[in-house]
């Protein structure tokens, strides 16, 4: 993984195009065996369709890239085996929920997920539900993940106009601050109330981080750690 770099952009130009991933084709039998073993450990894992990226380029305030469809088993093997194809990256959105008093809200992943015990901003590898025509809509992907994980809808927050993209070579976290007009403790209580109504919530706990009201200052400490955890088993 290359040293993380941070790029602030206002435009995401992410095209979805058909492409056969040589890694997934060449190592199909190994990938299937690896996923079967992962399912034995965590039966709730589902081999759905996800989107990974290629050919990322930062130009001024624009990030452009090409995305392709693959199965989650191939993504999981690529991640767990140390990213044998460095020409592919996991490019996903993150909703950085920021309370009125400067507290960031993060969630601890449940034991049944593919990253149990890890602590993140709401996020997820994009899938087919995030495609609009031939474009990947990361803003909608973030809104979906935030609602699924916390119960908050776009009516509950105000997104910043820009994205802070953390690039590590094999990953790009496209991060957007979502400003919520309530104190951190109240926001945590609201999310915990929503989780209590779910039979098997994706999040096991909600944490507040009060480090800095300046996201640019806070990001190197928080986000690069999240990226490394997101890309490790």
- For the chain, the farthest-separated pair of C-alpha atoms sits apart, in whole angstroms, at 51
The pLDDT of residue 232:
42
- Over residues 111-151, the pLDDT tens digits come to 555 555 566 788 888 999 999 999 999 999 999 999 988 99
- Residue 5 tokens read as 């770099």
- Residue 3 tokens read as 């040293």
Does residue 65 have a pLDDT over 80?
yes
Does residue 231 have a pLDDT over 50?
no
Highest averaged pLDDT of the listed ranges 5-9, 115-119, 206-210: 5-9
Distance CA 139, CA 120 (A): 17
Give the model's confidence band at 222: pLDDT under 50 very low, under 70 low, under 90 confident, else very high. low
């Amino acid at each position: 993984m290359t040293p993380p770099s941070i790029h602030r952009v206002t435009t995401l130009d992410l095209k979805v195009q058909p492409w056969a991933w040589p890694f997934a084709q060449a190592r199909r039998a190994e990938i299937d065996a690896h996923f079967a073993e992962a399912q034995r450990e965590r039966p709730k894992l589902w081999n759905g369709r996800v989107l990974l990226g290629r050919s990322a380029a930062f130009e001024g305030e624009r990030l452009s890239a090409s995305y392709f469809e693959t199965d989650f088993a191939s993504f999981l093997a690529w991640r767990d085996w140390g990213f044998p194809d460095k020409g592919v990256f996991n490019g996903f959105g993150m909703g950085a929920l920021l309370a009125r008093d400067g507290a960031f809200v993060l969630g601890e992943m449940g034991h049944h997920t593919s990253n149990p015990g890890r602590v993140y901003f709401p996020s997820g590898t994009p899938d087919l539900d995030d495609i609009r025509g031939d474009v990947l809509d990361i803003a909608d992907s973030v809104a979906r993940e935030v609602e699924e994980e916390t119960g908050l809808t776009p009516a509950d927050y105000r997104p910043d106009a820009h994205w802070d993209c953390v690039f590590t070579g094999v990953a790009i976290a496209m991060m957007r601050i979502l400003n919520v007009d309530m104190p951190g403790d109240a926001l945590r209580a609201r999310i915990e109330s929503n989780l209590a109504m779910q039979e098997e919530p994706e999040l096991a706990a909600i944490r507040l981080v009060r480090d800095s009201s300046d996201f640019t200052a806070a990001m190197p400490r928080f986000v690069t750690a999240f990226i490394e955890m997101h890309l490790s088993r």
